[in-house]
Amino acid sequence: MHMHMHMLWFVFLAAVGPSVLGLLKVEASSVVAPCAAPLQWEGRWVLYNHRSGRNHRAAVSYDGLNHRIRVLQRHKKHTPCQRFFEYIYLYQSMVMFQIDQKTKECSKIALTDAWDPFDIPDNSTFEDQYFIGGPGDNVEVQEWSDRKPARQHETWVGVYTLKDCYPVQETYTRNSSVTTSTRFFNLQLGISDPDVFTPPSTCQAARPERMAEADC
């Protein structure tokens, strides 16, 4: 009786073996991979600097194809001493223009950091997938990081929508001290006006030093 049972069990394993292997292959092929974020979009962001405790609200044009970003700070009436600037980052030329929105004064400053696109690098670590919001009013996102086994803490965490891979939030920690969190919203595909990346004529006589963000 025992011999027959062993034979039946062997036949059963032989029969289901291929299907089990097939299931393992399906699971292996469904390993989560980073999505490809849009290369050109416009929208708004709020950048929070954890060291200064300040939020910077701005309209943003992002051109990943030509490695350039234009940031137009939004005016806030409750900060009378605050100066508001337009920033044009041209990474192909490695320069940044800072333009005072009121006086049109301009500074031209060399960029030292390499181009860092708003996307999920291929070597990123998958952290989680979840819904932002509640039933009937939510969006599904994935969270990625640069966490590696040999590193104690991640220095970058990115949250991107699952459907079209739009950025939702990115958090950077530099030198274990300076942390910035950027929240993205109201994004639209494409660049409506490419001229926003062209510095105004006042930048032909640009000063080499950065302008202060407050008058008093």
**Per-residue pLDDT, 29:** 36
Query: What global pTM score does this model have?
Result: 0.81
- From the list 100, 59, 78, 53, the residue with the least C-alpha distance to 213 is 100
**Per-residue pLDDT, 154:** 83
Question: In 3-state terms, what secondary structure has residue 59?
Answer: strand
**Per-residue pLDDT, 178:** 76
Q: What b/e readout covers 38-68, taking b as 16+ CB neighbours within 10 angstroms?
A: beebbbebebbeeeeeeebebbbbbbbeebb
Mean pLDDT for back-to-back runs of 10 residues, the chain (216 residues):
44 46 42 92 95 91 98 80 92 97 95 95 95 95 90 86 97 83 97 96 92 81
CB of 197 closer than 8 Å to CB of 63? yes
**Per-residue pLDDT, 123:** 92
CA distances from 215 to 75, 146, 179 (A): 15, 39, 25
For the chain, list the domains and their CATH numbers.
40-205 (2.50.20.30)
- From the list 86, 94, 113, 119, the residue with the least C-alpha distance to 195 is 86
**Per-residue pLDDT, 1:** 47
CB of 216 closer than 8 Å to CB of 81? yes
